[in-house]
Amino acid sequence: MKLENQLNWYDVRQLRQWWKGELVIKGILSVEDARKSREIGTDGIVVSAHGGRNIDCAPTPAKVLPGIVDAVGQKIEILADSGVMRGSDVLKYVSLGAKSVMLGRLPLWGLASAGEPRADAVLEMMRTEIDITLAMLGAQTPRELQS
């Protein structure tokens, strides 16, 4: 059964034709889809399982990220998302080749619990955890963790 309102690659091509600004596609979990996204002309992709909430048997972003980076990493911006709960998670994705990492719900939890000051505190906590993890690994910047 085909759903008529189901988003597909044709829709992304149409969007690319209409939208001349930067276009980033989230939810990429395969080399094939990363290549399709690049061929269509997107500017970036987010390797993401949407927090694992859509299909619990989908591969984790950390598992597929290195292959995607190898296939299209020099041609398109690659971000990572899903399961980020601490600073070391950010560094894991960077070490696997992501240029940026999305924090997802963490700042929103801070915002919901005590407003903007708590959201800022969550971001500062992440920065501190990144700095501590880098120091424990003997690195000064996240890029030093990339192979």
Which residue is catalytic, options 35, 50, 86, 99? 50
What span, in angstroms and rounded, lies between the C-alpha atoms of 87 and 43?
Answer: 26
Task: Specify whether the CB–CB gap between 80 and 96 falls below 8 A.
Answer: yes
**73 given a catalytic annotation:** no
Q: Which residues are catalytic?
A: 50
